Amino acid sequence: MKQCSGCKKEKPLDEFSKDKSKKDGLRTQCKECSKQNQKQYRKINKEKLNEYHRQYRSNGGRHADKPYVYFAYHNGNYYIGSTKYRWTERFSKHKHSAATGLGHYINEHNLSKEDFEVKRFSFETIEEARDAEKSYLCECVGQKGCLNKNK
């Protein structure tokens, strides 16, 4: 049995998908929670995100060390942000600042960075990333599951 970092339920190991990057070889969130995250993701993803991503790829861009927009998922909730820093750094910044919706959520649920499923979309410049972030926020702030507070 293993406790899911999303719903906090104890579940049999086959309720968790494999993930080689994790110590025990399994995701921290159960399949049910991952499915929820995916659902949220598809809802906001739509055409726009694909288009940004297509454009980015056609520019021959690489993904390493570029500014990016991130979607951090946990238990059907998500936070949208943009940064040029690594997720590890970004996370600890949030953790120590309860001012952001995410910081508050992290501390309320006592979460670590591994508890989140993070999806990234890279851009050439931080300005492009911020623009993209803004348009996602317009669609998402105030919607169910969105942890962002303002646009």
C-alpha dihedral (132, 6, 4, 70), degrees to nearest 10:
10
Helix (H) or strand (E) holding 121: strand 117-122
Site for Zn ion in 63-82 (CB under 5 A): none
Number of neighbouring beta carbons within 10 Å of residue 111: 20
Instruction: Compute the least distance from the CB of residue 28 to Zn ion, in Å.
Output: 9
The residue from 2, 7, 43, 118 that contacts Zn ion (CB under 5 A) is: 7
By CB under 5 A, residue 30 contacts Zn ion: yes
Site for Zn ion in 119-148 (CB under 5 A): none
Instruction: Compute the least distance from the CB of residue 77 to Zn ion, in Å.
Output: 12
Helix (H) or strand (E) holding 40: helix 31-58
User: How many residues line the site for Zn ion (CB under 5 A)?
Assistant: 5
- The whole-angstrom separation of Cα 116 and Cα 22 is 13
Which among 22-30, 54-62, 108-116, 135-143 is the span making contact with Zn ion, rule CB under 5 A? 22-30
Which among 7-15, 48-56, 60-68, 113-121 is the span making contact with Zn ion, rule CB under 5 A? 7-15
Find out whether 2 and 16 touch, Cβ atoms under 8 Å: yes
Which among 27-35, 85-93, 101-109, 135-143 is the span making contact with Zn ion, rule CB under 5 A? 27-35
SS3 state at 14: helix
Nearer to Zn ion, 16 or 56 (CB): 16
Q: What is the DSSP string of 62-101?
A: --TT--EEEEEEETTEEEEEEESS-HHHHHHHHHT-TTSH
The residue from 6, 67, 81, 101 that contacts Zn ion (CB under 5 A) is: 6
Residues in touch with Zn ion (CB under 5 A): 4, 6-7, 30, 33
